[in-house]
Amino acid sequence: MKRQAVTNKCMFLNRRELLIAGSCAVLSSAAPGSSRMSVEAYIFQQYASRQHKKLGDVLDEAFSMTRKAGFRNIELNQEFFAPELRDRTLALLRSNSLEMPSVYVGGAMHETALADKTIQRALEIGAICKPFGCKAIVNNPDPLPGSAEKTDSELKIETESLNRMGRVLRGEGFHLRVHHHTPEMVDSAREWRYILHHTEPKYVSLCMDLDWVHQGGQNPLALLREAGPRVEEIHVRNSKNKLWLEAVEDGDVDYRKIAEYLKQSGLKPLIVVELAYRPNTVVTRPLEDDLRLSRIYTEKVFGVSAQA
């Protein structure tokens, strides 16, 4: 409570006072920038796993690597805020001058009791991240075991829960963005379309992972067009013959056509580089190089800067 009070006080200081106020420097990151580009931190979990280490073992390296690769924005997930990692995560965000325009908080939404827990967790993590410029919570409703299709009744509860979550988060200054994986793409993107058509645009936006659309057998550009202004964030990763590449580059998803559509439509979503490796992905470079090359490619294709 005391920490939050100091943070709130910091919000009312002018620029000169902010530079002087040591307590604000401790609790907040650098002043929010205007970059529409970020990097997803999931790859660092894989990075740790491939070395048979815990996430905490690579935490310092991960944040340093992010900055050296040229990013100033990062999208973390709830694993980085586990009790044993939370303080270190926040300290590393500050020491590396990283901002967090969005944070990923997964959780079930198809049962009311489970949705209540997901919403509460999102509120708690959102409050922690707010001093770092966080304005959006990304939620991927948990799939059923075995990625079974949800019933109409479960989808009804899911969308009602997402609407409720969106309203609650909006009251705290956050946007809700709904992410997806391949289960939502099954049966002509049945779950994804149900969410699109049964949630309130005022409170529920979309985060489209265009590679997962492709992996799920759907057309990324077609679904992007269908969602239109509901899309506030996109995740970019690429593959060849559906095998994930070690960096974002030309492949199965034509990101130039995606960028052209966004420009023509006047849409300006947050663009998040999200690397991931399959067990048989050929990795030839250090992760920092793959992140840097992914940034350069994404900047060029979308006409954005990771620093601006």
Q: Determine the pLDDT at residue 33.
A: 52
Percentage of the chain modeled with pLDDT above 70: 89
**Residue 229 CA to chain centroid, in angstroms?**
18
Residue 87 and residue 64: Cα distance in Å, rounded? 16
Residue 68 structure tokens: 């050296």
pLDDT for residue 89 is more than 80: yes
Q: Does residue 70 sit within a domain?
A: yes
Structural domain including 191 reads: 33-302
Average pLDDT value for the chain: 91
Residue 97 and residue 80: Cα distance in Å, rounded? 17
Residue 251 structure tokens: 């492949």
User: Considering its fold, how many domains does the chain have in total?
Assistant: 2
pLDDT for residue 168 is more than 60: yes
Nearest alpha-carbon partner for 180 in 204, 160, 156: 204
Note whether 116 and 183 are same-domain residues: yes
Note if the pTM is more than 0.85: yes
Q: Determine the pLDDT at residue 34.
A: 76
pLDDT for residue 289 is more than 50: yes
The CATH code of the domain that includes 231 is: 3.20.20.150
202, 216 contact by CB (below 8 A): no
Q: Does residue 308 sit within a domain?
A: no
Note whether 46 and 9 are same-domain residues: no
Report residue 181: phi and psi, to 5°. Answer: -125, -150
Note whether 20 and 82 are same-domain residues: no
Q: Does residue 95 sit within a domain?
A: yes
